[in-house]
Structure 1
């Protein structure tokens, strides 16, 4: 089933004509309404009338998270504040939060985009969706909530936390769809089993919509096995709109990007140079229809690649590969680039281990050291290994082959690493402290 066949199945030529018309309108609008963008465009020597083709997008300057913070709180809004009926913001844990606004039309657009991605994942009218994201300044909870309602789904706004209550609500309400972070989905399954509830047998959940943090195919397999469901990835970020930028269809061959609303590029994260089709790099998005808070060439820091081959589902939009990590989350260990997702993939494909881990980076003398702490599976380690030392050695060897460096490996008891109701904390980097 396709939610919006008019736009999700456009030919490439029709879609590009629509994108160009909307891009021209958006560039002219931000030039007129947002002094910051006008100044940046003038410094780059480009005016709205210079945008004559989609290739001219590369002439426009990038927008970064620092730009958003420097214009805190409302400096990048393109409408008067009395037209903004919703404000969201990031946590601001590393500085000023990034603040985004929505007009009434923006909220209608957002709900429609979420309706698209939940329909892609096989969610239907009559489903009961339990939202396990927090409700507040974070866009995840409200974004999925109103989009699910638009799709005719019954929504249980349970929010994050109080995991035992989540399980009771699933039993009592007959929840068929869970919405949250993938790491929290695994934790909920653990709590259910501790309560004597088998998620596969005793609950009616059939679909999971997960996002807000990178997760591997191994993690997907763990979730699907624990719950007996089909698990789907969706992608978005507050600075662009929130969730609703892209989502997986039931083919699970990448995430369809809602290209009638967002122009996507892939650039070299070091040079900013646009990369050829199919190459992996940093995603950059330009909003085509946002009113209150349009962004031009926003650098996401998310690493992915675009896929152009036709999808059997019938949608014609470009797909993005699942995000493998962030350029600003990349660890450089003794000159080697390491993404946490690489480590997760090894862990989730090693028998005897649970998909819960912590990466600790430290400095011993002049050398960087990396330790990977991993929980043992609750069922115990595999019969393939004579003892824990053998399992540790096997994991260390597999990580060395993947990362081209040898980390320390520490196997810990199941349940001993911290669980969170939001994004999982996977990395502790102590090198700055060691340098003091």
Structure 2
């Protein structure tokens, strides 16, 4: 199979024209098969024949997570008998939403991951260890497996956690790449050092990092990435995806943002008034899926605040690239006149080697204002360390959160909940 789709090397105008033809096909499909979008077109007097360009998309109202939660069944375009897999969103910001996939959707999912992994340098014949959930209605784990199989790589399905077992598998099967939450790499390194495992001479050369950011907005390594690379000389590749879009944005070897796959997704970056942001500005990623059969989405607002980058990449692709997620729109915090997102606070906490585990909690105080409480587990507890953390917050973000020390055994069970696909480092109680 072609793992560098030719459309990605085409000119910007060719990519736009290609996507506009795909958009027309999608609109016809939705008008014929989607109860939700049939109703949306009717209520807003939308004649789909007038939607000819990507700019014309702005004539159509956006779709939100709330729409999916309220009208989940109306989004399905095929009968239940044609659904071969059920997945759900993680429910980070509300009730999970059910997504069904047809045979063709699974094939699309495999294609997406195959070209995404190829983007990061994985090749046919490479052994890849998946340190990620593949069950519990988790779409991504299944997608990784299908994509690796499609591209001809070998898969070691380890699942999350248990460093001892991960190292046993690494030395037994000699994988070249890992797919993992990056913070878990620090746990693996810590385990290896405590148990005299020569991890630096292992077969691992790179890791595709999911669920957490490893880059700053200028594509330099963030603190988490620096900490890993200081200990272990491996390549780290960012990837960004969601269940809703069944599409991944993965870095190439030049690591300047995740590449868009034009045959799979149309992207818009919108401001609070749903107008396109100016180039270089951050806005909410809004996506239109292409080639999805069971539950396609049109102008779906993901809730993620991102910056897009449009200059051609050194790898030869001319596709748009997404920078690291600035934050989740619904997780924005207004604290004493300062606007904050959890990733900025995570970066500050990752600055400290003495912190074993942390959780950021946002709650409303008695007068309705946002209040930040940070729970920490540390190697040694003393007032000086707490003041140092607080001072670092003041210097970097101009805020001084409340800090609570919690025993590691208690906090680690909350943060690394076995029922969660990612570490629960942020809790919004507002």
Q: Same fold (TM over 0.5)?
A: yes
Q: Deviations over 1:307-348 (max 9, x none)?
A: 011211111100011112211122233343221111122233
**Quick one: distance in 2 between partners of 1:113 and 1:34?**
23
**Quick one: distance in 1 between partners of 2:300 and 2:164?**
39
Q: Deviations over 1:187-222 (max 9, x none)?
A: 233333333324323x22111111134455221222
Query: Alignment partner of 1:75: what SS?
Result: helix
Answer whether contact 2:241 2:248 (CA < 8 A) is retained: yes
Where in structure 2 are the equivalents of 1:72-91 lying within 5 Å? 72=72, 74-91=73-90
**Quick one: distance in 1 between partners of 2:335 and 2:95?**
29
Q: Does 1:265 align with 2:265?
A: no
Aligned to 1:298: 300
In structure 2, relative to structure 1, the CA distance for the partners of 1:320 and 1:188 (3 Å cut) is same
Aligned to 1:149: 149
**Quick one: distance in 1 between partners of 2:189 and 2:410?**
16
Q: Report deviation, 1:302.
A: 0.7
Query: Alignment partner of 1:150: what SS?
Result: helix
TM-score, structure 2 as length reference: 0.88
Aligned to 1:239: 244
Answer whether contact 2:86 2:100 (CA < 8 A) is retained: yes
Aligned to 1:68: 68
Where in structure 2 are the equivalents of 1:174-323 lying within 5 Å? 174-201=174-201, 203-216=202-215, 217-241=222-246, 244-268=247-271, 270-323=272-325
**Quick one: distance in 1 between partners of 2:333 and 2:291?**
36
Answer whether contact 1:123 1:207 (CA < 8 A) is retained: no
**Quick one: distance in 1 between partners of 2:92 and 2:391?**
36
Q: Identify unmatched segments of 5+ residues in structure 2.
A: 216-221
Q: Deviations over 1:267-289 (max 9, x none)?
A: 12x33232122210110000122
**Quick one: distance in 2 between partners of 1:51 and 1:363?**
44
**Quick one: distance in 2 between partners of 1:225 and 1:103?**
44
**Quick one: distance in 1 between partners of 2:332 and 2:398?**
15
**Quick one: distance in 2 between partners of 1:415 and 1:371?**
19
Q: Deviations over 1:51-100 (max 9, x none)?
A: 0211101111211122122223x421222333322221124576543111
Answer whether contact 1:347 1:355 (CA < 8 A) is retained: no
The number of residues matched between the two structures is 416
In structure 2, relative to structure 1, the CA distance for the partners of 1:131 and 1:85 (3 Å cut) is same
In structure 2, relative to structure 1, the CA distance for the partners of 1:205 and 1:20 (3 Å cut) is same
Q: Deviations over 1:154-195 (max 9, x none)?
A: 101112244422221112111221112223333233333333
Where in structure 2 are the equivalents of 1:360-375 lying within 5 Å? 360-362=361-363, 365-366=366-367, 368-374=370-376
Answer whether contact 2:361 2:372 (CA < 8 A) is retained: yes
In structure 2, relative to structure 1, the CA distance for the partners of 1:362 and 1:301 (3 Å cut) is closer
Q: Report deviation, 1:408.
A: 3.4
Query: Alignment partner of 2:132: what SS?
Result: coil
Q: Report deviation, 1:23.
A: 0.2
Q: Identify unmatched segments of 5+ residues in structure 1.
A: 381-386
Q: Report deviation, 1:368.
A: 4.6
In structure 2, relative to structure 1, the CA distance for the partners of 1:52 and 1:144 (3 Å cut) is same
In structure 2, relative to structure 1, the CA distance for the partners of 1:197 and 1:18 (3 Å cut) is same
TM-score, structure 1 as length reference: 0.87
Aligned to 1:400: 394
Answer whether contact 1:214 1:325 (CA < 8 A) is retained: no
Query: Alignment partner of 1:311: what SS?
Result: coil
Q: Does 1:32 align with 2:32?
A: yes
Query: Alignment partner of 2:192: what SS?
Result: helix
Q: Report deviation, 1:294.
A: 0.8
Aligned to 1:383: none
Aligned to 2:425: 426
Answer whether contact 1:181 1:210 (CA < 8 A) is retained: yes
